[in-house]
Structure 1
Amino acid sequence: MVKAVVCGAAGGIGQPLSLLLKLNPIITELALYDVVNAVGVAADLSHIPTPAQVTGYLSPDNGAEKALKGADIVVIPAGVPRKPGMTRDDLFVNAGICATLAQAIANAAPKAFILVISNPVNSTVPVFAETLKKAGVFDPKKLLGVSHLDVIRASTFVASVLGKPTEAKEYTIPVVGGHSGATILPLLSQTKPAIPDILADKEKRDALVNRIQFGGDEVVKAKDGAGSATLSMAQAGAEFANYVIDAAFGGKKGKIVQAYINLSADAGGDAIKKEIGADLDYFSVNIELGPSGVEKILPIGELDDVEKGLLEAAVKELGPSIEKGNTFQPAPPKL
């Protein structure tokens, strides 16, 4: 019996994400919350014959907390989407929404796993953490920023460069750092199977790294003002949520993923700070998932010279983004 909640369920990410979660046989209850249309989306999904029973909730009459009550996992794509010319950092307007939802989670589902998709993840995860701390319910093992889209993009783009687009799932590329532009650090030297031809070609490698870091811009430009990466983000979010559900409730052990987390979640976080040469509170790192969420924080591992330079740039940009989230003073609208 697993209850999943999607906050922002009627949006461009929220609808396909809710559909994908409806298909997970472990989920028996799926609650959808949004300021508009969540009831309609729930009615639509409820016609699909899977175990998850779907309900929808709107803002009036404390709808957020009603949706969240008893939740085991909450996935949050809520917020304003990117438009042409905007960076993810420009979406800090979403911080107020995140603070409000964090308070609702603290009130109604303080022990739930919280998966944050709302951009800018580098700042919104700290906003969630600070709100939960004030409520006395912060568990760093259960608060995860979803940077998984960078991981699936890396696999897709590497396979494309190699001329093997149908074999994208065969390539595993860890992506660490953050979830915005230069903070995204694809560890191409750790790709499995190895890609020596790409690593040896500076021009090809630089272009590949840039595409992984700024792949979202391709989608924003192609949609020409009609939105940002919604379908690919929904797939990445659902896949990551399923990994967490499998580890926490399905008994599957040993799954290694990358997520943007508070480094206090495990003793391995101190080692990460030494590896990156900076005292950052948050970083997207290799983690082992388990019943408690972040079971272990694992080392980043050996970097080549190119990656060392990228790491330095990522750390420099991450610091101010984290501070922005840590110091945010919300005056959120009433849900």
Structure 2
Amino acid sequence: MYSTGKLRKVAVLGAAGGIGQPLSLLLKSDAKSRISDLALYDIANMGMAADLAHIPTASRVKGFSGEGELPHALDKADVVIIPAGVPRKPGMTRDDLFNINASIVRNLVAACAKYCPSAHVLIISNPVNSTVPIAYETMKSLGVAQPNVFGVTTLDIIRARTFIAEMKGLNPTDVTVKVVGGHSGPTIVPILSTASVKFTEEESKSLVQRIQYGGDEVVKAKAGAGSATLSMAFAAKEFYDSFVAVIDGVSSVNPVAFVKTDAFETGYFASEVKLGPNGSVKSILPENLSPYEKELLKTALADLAKDIRKGEEFARSHAH
């Protein structure tokens, strides 16, 4: 069932958390994921690895608990997925989140730079607009010439597809739409003109608002018990699948990711990315934007610049 050369070791850092557990389940249970080894790491007890290991698919699962076992989790990893950190709770600003998660991400990617420098590192930990620059700059400062760092913003796309389908009475699996920019509030730019259905001005504004702040719906619905975890795990698995399909040469559909790019003066941006040899990444810019979308993009870039600068400054001031 598996072709040689395409099996890989995947490490999930923060595997015991609200996103880490369902994501690990999705990765282990899908025989098509082409994973030979699934390394599950957290500072907590990783007994869940034994639980997952009983699922009859070919990938071997091993749990790693505590900082002392992090090097073993990362050894020979091809892909590292990082959902580690604290979730957003009601009343919590993205600054509050930043103060906690920035250090967690920096320490984990520093270990990646040491033990699997050529791995593809997929960042889920929020705020992505700042944690991706932290990851990239930290790995660069530790001697990784071309850090393969990708921010996972797929959740914005799956929300857009779901909300459009609800509004128009469609099956969400039939809906496609591009969402670019960043991964928080006004930095999220839904390109509704790329959807196969048309919207009135009122519908567009209502959809954009809901897509940009869909995370708040979940935080509110969970009444203080956390943020989007299950939909985020689904989004991360969808990104992983599309990402490795391109790397393996079995798909030419460009995934969307928040990456380091020269295409915008902000230095980072989420859009379709063309993956080249040796980990090179080229952002494909959105074309033919409507006047409304151009305004959204302008607002997004101003906010993004602040988030990115904050991440870069943190990385510089906490260089190893």
> For this structure pair, what is the TM-score category when the shorter chain's length is used for normalisation?
over 0.9
Aligned to 1:73: 79
Aligned ranges 1:102-181 → 2 under 5 Å = 102-140=109-147, 142-164=148-170, 167-181=171-185
Are the equivalent residues in 1 in contact too, given 2:43–2:66 (CA < 8 A)? Answer: yes
Distance 1:24 1:224 in 2: 32
| 2:40 aligned with 1:32 | yes
Are the equivalent residues in 1 in contact too, given 2:141–2:319 (CA < 8 A)? Answer: no
Aligned to 1:12: 18
Aligned to 1:91: 97
Distance 2:59 2:276 in 1: 23
Are the equivalent residues in 2 in contact too, given 1:253–1:290 (CA < 8 A)? Answer: no
Are the equivalent residues in 2 in contact too, given 1:79–1:97 (CA < 8 A)? Answer: yes
Question: So what's the TM-score if we normalise by structure 2?
Answer: 0.92
Aligned ranges 1:224-235 → 2 under 5 Å = 224-235=223-234
Aligned to 1:276: none
Shift of 1:299: 2.3
SS in 2 for 1:327: helix
Aligned to 2:305: 319
In structure 1, list runs of 5 or more residues that go unmatched.
264-268, 274-278
Distance 2:158 2:145 in 1: 29
Among candidates 248, 252, 262, match of residue 254 of structure 1 = 252
Runs of 4+ in 1 over 3 A off after TM superposition: 87-90, 289-296
The amino acid that maps onto 1:79 is G
Are the equivalent residues in 2 in contact too, given 1:254–1:289 (CA < 8 A)? Answer: no
In structure 2, list runs of 5 or more residues that go unmatched.
1-6
Aligned ranges 1:200-215 → 2 under 5 Å = 201-215=200-214
Are the equivalent residues in 1 in contact too, given 2:246–2:254 (CA < 8 A)? Answer: no
Distance 1:214 1:172 in 2: 19
Aligned ranges 1:42-53 → 2 under 5 Å = 42-53=49-60
SS in 2 for 1:232: helix
Question: So what's the TM-score if we normalise by structure 1?
Answer: 0.88
Are the equivalent residues in 1 in contact too, given 2:180–2:269 (CA < 8 A)? Answer: yes
SS in 2 for 1:84: coil
Aligned to 1:101: 108
CA RMSD of aligned residues (A): 1.6
Cα gap change, 1:229 to 1:292, in 2 (>3 Å): farther
Of 293-302 and 62-71, deviating more is 293-302
Cα gap change, 1:67 to 1:235, in 2 (>3 Å): same
